[in-house]
Structure 1
């Protein structure tokens, strides 16, 4: 049995940390009911019909087990439970019934009942076994209506022991100032009570009426005396001792007064309903009190009041609202923020409607206060990296944690499931708690730094998704722009987790420089950009590492120079290299006489200057010379020069018409060299020998065209004879002279070599050439002669040209 009991306890407690829904089903009043399984109250009808006290029990998952008005017990099917009648409560009793669990056993439950108005039945208990009757439960006959104490007030409440498993059942003995406190643990109900004398003596029947409640934290009790006062006590959840009574409200008329009481979820506030029936007025109030203040009565605040349909019981629900029963109403009121002081607690009179056709009385179901308290508390969510200390401070207890430690506390410094097993009052309990880590924002503003003065503004940021931010100046953006040195910090919070970082920023000096204004220059001009030589390092946009560069191309050029403090300064300059006008006057050229050449540079620019100062874009060349032009475009200039020479057409000259004597031979030569000839007979020789009179012509051609000349040779008087050869130095015929020339007037004889050099001339018809030139013998060959004289007959000047052969 002992092993079985331990097994059950362990399983129950480990589950209880995850499912605490024993209060999910309420049945009260006249067939009224509520279900809280969805988190909000949903109306559901029941079988109970009673004006005041009642109680209900659900399993840890919120499934209804049974409920009672202190007289009858109904199972989950809303049918009377086997042996579930004739309990000794009363429907006209404030707290007619209270159901508690049986620590360590999910199948056994106690029903405590009290009689109305201090009647003899007093406080009794009955045991319910849910294993019986096919799981619908049965009131155990041998343990039904078992007396505990008589007489008692209409008050019974329960609260969890400090060990969060055992239960204290508390009542007040009528005619005394004594509280009787019974322990329920793994061994069941201990019928020997802890008795504490505290507060007023309940010696009037009307004093028995009104609720007794324990605070959720198990440290306080509140008790209403209907025609008396509300009293507040300290309660020791470890020993069950009641102490330190404080009276917080009085009823001067002693007719009606305090009835319902309930603590806020945080156990710091107390709510009480009071009725005032002076002269049949039927007035009621709901007051709020701060129970931790030295004079509780001074903190009273009315949060509701009215006439008729008096406010009765108040009960803390599983949704943390405090619900209020208004007599004979088809709804319940609620205080929706009961931990808030004053009107901020938000009282709503008609908060939830009851099932159709049902109404409330003045009572609401009674439950074990602090039912959801556990040894280790609820699953805990902490910020990543934080640790939680789980402490179980129970005198006379031994401990065993999941890591084998046996102290009364454990440091939980990592996420996971933790459990402890305690042995207390011969019972073994186990509880577990899960520690969940919330993501903590990561904040990193970087190391403290010394920034160059030109590094500002600087953006500080350490974004973390979903976080809220707070900077040293109260701003709340995810980033912060700093403009100078100082200490800056940021705090990031996410789901209650806070991280903070700071950065100290100081400044270093910056040395500035200026590359000058943006500029525009002409192509081939030199642009030198430089920076002072006092810097430690230079970096130009073109990769140069010295303090100056020569710019030859258009573009944006920058230099970043670092001073001795390690601070960089950068400046830039845009240089526009304007292209020079592109044109050419062409190559030096040779033109034929009469040709005209138009030099045109219109497309090259917009301003022009020629060698003669003219400014037109075109220039006509019609004579030899050097021609120069300077062209400007976009303030850039270029020039070119061309030399032009003229070549004449060939001018052959066969001389004047000629007269020849019979037998005479004339040689015609045009007088030009190095160009081709075409004679009248098609000959292309450089000379033509005439042996008879006639018309003779020659055509001479060069690049500039063809020119023709002709000569007429006629038969003359033939007074002279001209030999065609001579032999100097041979004794005979050694002189070339004109025969029969004696007496000729205006006579001339000239002899030329083949290059046109004059070798001999005479005007004496009797003289001739001896083949020498200045005493030098001339070589054998052909020589040209020219003989002219005046013809006496015709009066014309006669010219004879021909070739004489010198023979050696």
Structure 2
């Protein structure tokens, strides 16, 4: 199980903004369905990548050549990267442990004598503290060739390590023997690669796309040929292992693929340029036998276009559209429920209009991650505290332990948004165990301090003599605020009239306590002054 503290809460907003194609864009910031964005300045033909923060605010985006900041201006030192080509050759990821630095990985076409021409894996570092917070590429860390990947192939992908903190950067080589290189990005930078030599690895020159399932267990590799390759991937070790190659009968080649959020299905887009009939096929992604895998194939749709596919924050798969010699299609199609079998997965054409902007053949790369955090409202003893999970992907099941054994059976819950009233003030360790849809488990821990509820005590109701002043004291605490029924805001008041007097005391975390008292005055009960006689 993985342990997450409440600090540094992430939300799904990191994937809310998509920029791609010919100045096209969509946003999920207001929910699903997404709406078109018209503020992009980017043209992209192959790969592109977008970074947003946890609140869904844009940080930057890139097509592998130019980086644009959140104002859609060219970022400081943000031109001249080497990842602008027809492959998915640009990946932007955060540096683990940093809130201000990001790595850009690009595969650029370079010649490295005496080797033949190849696509060299390079990195650049974006520092968001530069240019008054708009960010810039560090001059000393731009287009740095990565040792061992001088002749890598065009496509790059990235996936979380099993620890959910570090990041695997995965490429394939073009020189012999063909191999996969998995570089681990940690808080200290990029480590030496883990090298894999899968037996089925073809002699094809360059994969155009490498896709990893969202649980990090399966790897798909696409070439500009009829066959694609399917592998096991170990997110703990970075090892790529052989499974099988496959092709789609009747189709000329495989263009792209995408996994459902629960990793149950993989969707494969395969064009046939001669017939003009292009198909999307659903396969059982968990099958490791090639015969059974092919038998599981079910046609989702036959189409008059082809395109790229990406899973979105709403768990739908969005699809770009292109026809031969026609690249200006300004809409996205969708598979609404990719976790369901055909036909329940529900394909829909022209789902999202792009308002005149062409989608081309690409959609942005995002680093998928599992996370589990606890949100809550309330800090007060004697008052219900409401808990809410913040998880990705959406959980299959939840279990809660509030760390309050004195509350008996109420200490446990399997509700999605439970409430708990703590038995006393103090610090409690709240745990939420998440079972994801692919049977992976995470544990989130929150150390929650419950404040004592303010308990003003004005004493019993009382009766006093006329013209006698009574001081009502709610107890002084410099962090509390006070509001009396008289309108006074001090911790004590002096009164001399009959009536009911109440006070509400509020702590900085909005814990509230109140009390009231009835004061009765006996009229004429004050004795007259005794006359003194003088002889």
TM-score (norm 1): 0.44
1:316 Cα deviation (Å)?
Answer: 0.6
Q: Which residue of 1 aligns with 2:52?
A: 58
1:359 Cα deviation (Å)?
Answer: 0.5
Q: Which residue of 2 aligns with 1:362?
A: 361
Are 2:297 and 1:300 aligned? yes
1:275 Cα deviation (Å)?
Answer: 1.3
The counterpart of 2:67, out of the listed 73, 87, 98, is 73
Contact 1:93 1:116 in 2 (8 A): no
The counterpart of 1:231, out of the listed 223, 229, 233, is 229
1:189 Cα deviation (Å)?
Answer: 2.0
Contact 1:96 1:116 in 2 (8 A): no
Q: Which residue of 1 aligns with 2:14?
A: 22
Contact 1:54 1:95 in 2 (8 A): yes
Q: Which residue of 2 aligns with 1:263?
A: 259
CA 245–119 in structure 1, closer or farther in 2 if over 3 Å, else same? farther
Are 2:284 and 1:290 aligned? yes
Contact 2:5 2:445 in 1 (8 A): no
1:209 Cα deviation (Å)?
Answer: 4.2
Task: State the alpha-carbon separation in 1 of the partners of residues 395 and 214 from structure 2.
Answer: 23
Q: Which residue of 2 aligns with 1:112?
A: 105
User: Which structure would you say has the larger Rg?
Assistant: 1
CA 312–84 in structure 1, closer or farther in 2 if over 3 Å, else same? same
Helix, strand or coil for the counterpart of 2:318? strand
What whole-Å deviation, never above 9, does each CA across 1:724-748 have from its counterpart, x for those lacking one? Answer: xxxxxxxxxxxxxxxxxxxxxxxxx
CA 379–69 in structure 1, closer or farther in 2 if over 3 Å, else same? closer
1:87 Cα deviation (Å)?
Answer: 0.1
Are 2:316 and 1:316 aligned? no
1:382 Cα deviation (Å)?
Answer: 11
Mapping for residues 476-495 of structure 1, pairs under 5 Å: none
Q: Which residue of 2 aligns with 1:132?
A: 130
Deviates more, 1:162-171 or 1:72-81: 162-171
Contact 1:378 1:433 in 2 (8 A): no
Task: State the alpha-carbon separation in 2 of the partners of residues 389 and 163 from structure 1.
Answer: 23
Task: State the alpha-carbon separation in 2 of the partners of residues 242 and 232 from structure 1.
Answer: 10
CA 365–119 in structure 1, closer or farther in 2 if over 3 Å, else same? farther
CA 204–382 in structure 1, closer or farther in 2 if over 3 Å, else same? closer
Q: Which residue of 1 aligns with 2:216?
A: 218
**5+ long unaligned stretches in structure 2:** 111-115, 375-387, 405-410, 414-419, 421-427, 433-441, 448-535
CA 250–305 in structure 1, closer or farther in 2 if over 3 Å, else same? closer
CA 105–13 in structure 1, closer or farther in 2 if over 3 Å, else same? farther
- How many residue pairs get matched? 385
Task: State the alpha-carbon separation in 2 of the partners of residues 202 and 124 from structure 1.
Answer: 24
Q: Which residue of 1 aligns with 2:168?
A: 168
What whole-Å deviation, never above 9, does each CA across 1:227-274 have from its counterpart, x for those lacking one? Answer: 042222111111111113222325788xx4112111100011001111
Q: Which residue of 1 aligns with 2:339?
A: 339
1:362 Cα deviation (Å)?
Answer: 0.7
What whole-Å deviation, never above 9, does each CA across 1:696-750 have from its counterpart, x for those lacking one? Answer: xxxxxxxxxxxxxxxxxxxxxxxxxxxxxxxxxxxxxxxxxxxxxxxxxxxxxxx
CA 13–61 in structure 1, closer or farther in 2 if over 3 Å, else same? farther
Mapping for residues 613-652 of structure 1, pairs under 5 Å: none
Contact 2:12 2:313 in 1 (8 A): no
1:15 Cα deviation (Å)?
Answer: 4.5
1:140 Cα deviation (Å)?
Answer: 0.8
1:297 Cα deviation (Å)?
Answer: 1.3
Task: State the alpha-carbon separation in 1 of the partners of residues 127 and 302 from structure 2.
Answer: 43
Task: State the alpha-carbon separation in 2 of the partners of residues 123 and 180 from structure 1.
Answer: 11
Contact 2:200 2:244 in 1 (8 A): no
Q: Which residue of 2 aligns with 1:141?
A: 139
1:13 Cα deviation (Å)?
Answer: 5.9
Q: Which residue of 1 aligns with 2:180?
A: 179
Helix, strand or coil for the counterpart of 1:320? coil
CA 157–320 in structure 1, closer or farther in 2 if over 3 Å, else same? same
CA 248–382 in structure 1, closer or farther in 2 if over 3 Å, else same? closer
Q: Which residue of 1 aligns with 2:460?
A: none
Contact 1:251 1:257 in 2 (8 A): no
CA 177–296 in structure 1, closer or farther in 2 if over 3 Å, else same? farther
Contact 2:86 2:208 in 1 (8 A): no
1:38 Cα deviation (Å)?
Answer: 1.2
Q: Which residue of 1 aligns with 2:457?
A: none
CA 213–433 in structure 1, closer or farther in 2 if over 3 Å, else same? farther
Structure with the largest fraction of strand: 1
1:17 Cα deviation (Å)?
Answer: 4.5
Task: State the alpha-carbon separation in 1 of the partners of residues 302 and 250 from structure 2.
Answer: 18
Mapping for residues 287-686 of structure 1, pairs under 5 Å: 287-293=281-287, 294=289, 295-307=292-304, 310-327=305-322, 328=327, 329-354=329-354, 356-369=355-368, 371-374=369-372, 379=390, 387=399, 413=412, 418=430, 432-433=444-445
CA 358–433 in structure 1, closer or farther in 2 if over 3 Å, else same? farther
Contact 2:333 2:348 in 1 (8 A): yes
1:116 Cα deviation (Å)?
Answer: 5.9
Question: Taking CA–CA contacts closer than 8 Å with sequence separation of 6 or more, which of the two structures ends up with the larger relative contact order?
Answer: 2
CA 431–292 in structure 1, closer or farther in 2 if over 3 Å, else same? closer
Contact 1:114 1:156 in 2 (8 A): yes
Task: State the alpha-carbon separation in 2 of the partners of residues 172 and 188 from structure 1.
Answer: 20
Q: Which residue of 1 aligns with 2:497?
A: none
CA 365–387 in structure 1, closer or farther in 2 if over 3 Å, else same? closer
The counterpart of 2:81, out of the listed 70, 77, 87, is 87
CA 157–383 in structure 1, closer or farther in 2 if over 3 Å, else same? closer
Helix, strand or coil for the counterpart of 1:105? coil
Q: Which residue of 2 aligns with 1:763?
A: none
Task: State the alpha-carbon separation in 2 of the partners of residues 347 and 78 from structure 1.
Answer: 33
Q: Which residue of 2 aligns with 1:273?
A: 269
CA 417–169 in structure 1, closer or farther in 2 if over 3 Å, else same? farther
After superposition, the CA RMSD in angstroms is: 3.3
Q: Which residue of 1 aligns with 2:92?
A: 99
**5+ long unaligned stretches in structure 1:** 1-9, 391-401, 404-411, 421-429, 436-808
Contact 1:379 1:433 in 2 (8 A): no
Task: State the alpha-carbon separation in 2 of the partners of residues 323 and 230 from structure 1.
Answer: 21
